[in-house]
Amino acid sequence: MLSSQLKKDSCQHHLKFTRLVFLPRSLALLLGTAVCVPAAAALSDTIHPFVVVGYNYDDNLFRLPDEAPGFTGSRSDTMLQTAVGASFERPLGRQILTGQAKVSNVKFSHYDQLNYNGKDFLAALEWHLGNHLEGHVGGKYAQTLTPFTDFHGNERNLRVQRREYVDGAWRFHPSWQVRGGYSEEKFTYDLLSQRYNNHTEDVAFGGVDFLASSGSRVGLQLRHLKGAYPNHRQIGSTTVDDGYTQDELKADVNWAFSGTTQLQMLVGWARREHVFFSQRNSSGANGKGNLVWRPLGKVSLTLSGWREFSAVESTFISNSFNKGVSVAAGWDISAKLRADASWRRERRQFDTINGLVLPGAIEDSTRSVNAGLTYAPMQAVQLNAGVFRESRTGSPFVGTNNYRVNGASFSVSAQF
């Protein structure tokens, strides 16, 4: 699954970049080079280089309230991104090594102090031992600009994400397996005022699954999470530790009802306890699920829902409890043209702010709509165009203001 996703990311990367005007010289050169590339011109069966160039237009870059002016007169901006990289897949006997390396340069037309270089590296080894033991070990590194959804300053704030993981499964019976794993994920922020959000989350899990002859499975999973925030917030004379622990018991389902309908679900019960301010402790139903329906060979519909805790990149708060739903549709219009559209709504609940219990439900709600077209004039080249609209009803108690934003994008990618 990972290797197919890497190939998809390298050539179908929807970067949301463009201003639908004239193409820059670098984009024209890329198109001219791509046209000269043979249909399956990978350097080898192992390494697949790719290039992506794109434009993005955003009419409310910093997600400011409707009545607020821009920081230096402009609320909107356009961005140009150029990315180069390579994905790889290498069988090593029964083991399979996959990965991707990508570097990018992002330039803003107006707020050029935000210009940055992005980095994305990941690698994974799918391992097999005998006929009954298998698993994965891997890691990820990503450096990108922190979104302005909850942080509304005009300073550059780079976020670095690191993740390492290992998991394994033992199929002790044709219809049963036990599995377990461990991962560590770390987030660090470049801007001094945002370093309160630096955190590490360690996750350990174990479970047992029933394996159907059809390839479907259903199981039970136990999971323990530990979140640590090394830079404690100072509130008056009080030092606040935003660390937490979370314990879960969930059903883990991946079931194909037919060739057209598949359900993926991880739902059950969870309890989160905070190191500081026990008023924030909570427990109850928790999880997420996806229902995929492909009524026709060229049409797909995906319905998703979730009810889970999430980190918040804000100066005031560190986490929220999110409830949401989304619908996504895809249509392969022809062998070279595909249309995609999605709608998403999410409500975030903040019960307390740094230990202060507020009256009523303190929450915000976000809605977004996306639509796009992907055109592949040849196997190695893809052009993507899209539009989006997002709006939020915020809460002044937690600094999540109301806003609306519209944007458009265009990008071209070529795999060699």
pLDDT digits (tens, 9 = 90+) for 392-407: 998 777 778 889 999 9
Q: What is the mean pLDDT of residues 85-106?
A: 95
Tokens 């704030």, residue? Answer: 157
The model's pTM:
0.84
Spatial distance between the Cα atoms of 226 and 260, rounded to a whole number of angstroms: 38
- One-letter amino acid at 167 equals D
Q: Which pLDDT band holds residue 389 (cuts at 50, 70, 90)?
A: very high
How distant, in Å, are the alpha carbons of 12, 52, 79 from that of 29?
Answer: 19, 12, 19
pLDDT at 20: 31
Tokens 């192992």, residue? Answer: 46
pLDDT at 359: 54
Q: What is the mean pLDDT of residues 232-239?
A: 78
Per-residue pLDDT at 357 exceeds 60: no
- One-letter amino acid at 267 equals V
CA angle 204, 166, 222 (to 5 degrees): 25
In the three-class reduction of DSSP (H, G, I as helix; E, B as strand; rest coil), residue 3 is classed as helix
Q: What is the mean pLDDT of residues 51-80?
A: 93
Dump the DSSP string for 100-152.
EEEEEEEEESS-GGG-EEEEEEEEEEEEEETTTEEEEEEEEEEEEEPPSSS--
Pick the residue with more confidence: 143 or 192?
A: 143
Q: Which pLDDT band holds residue 312 (cuts at 50, 70, 90)?
A: confident
Q: What is the mean pLDDT of residues 382-393?
A: 97
Contact 177, 159 (CB under 8 A): no
pLDDT at 337: 97
Per-residue pLDDT at 360 exceeds 60: no
Spatial distance between the Cα atoms of 144 and 161, rounded to a whole number of angstroms: 9
Spatial distance between the Cα atoms of 280 and 355, rounded to a whole number of angstroms: 7
pLDDT at 27: 38
pLDDT at 361: 59
10-24, 179-193, 246-260: range with lowest mean pLDDT: 10-24
Which stretch of DSSP H or E encloses residue 26? helix 25-35
Q: What is the mean pLDDT of residues 286-304?
A: 94
Quick one: DSSP state of residue 195?
Answer: G
Q: What is the mean pLDDT of residues 167-193?
A: 96
Residue 256 bridge partners (DSSP): 262
pLDDT at 219: 98
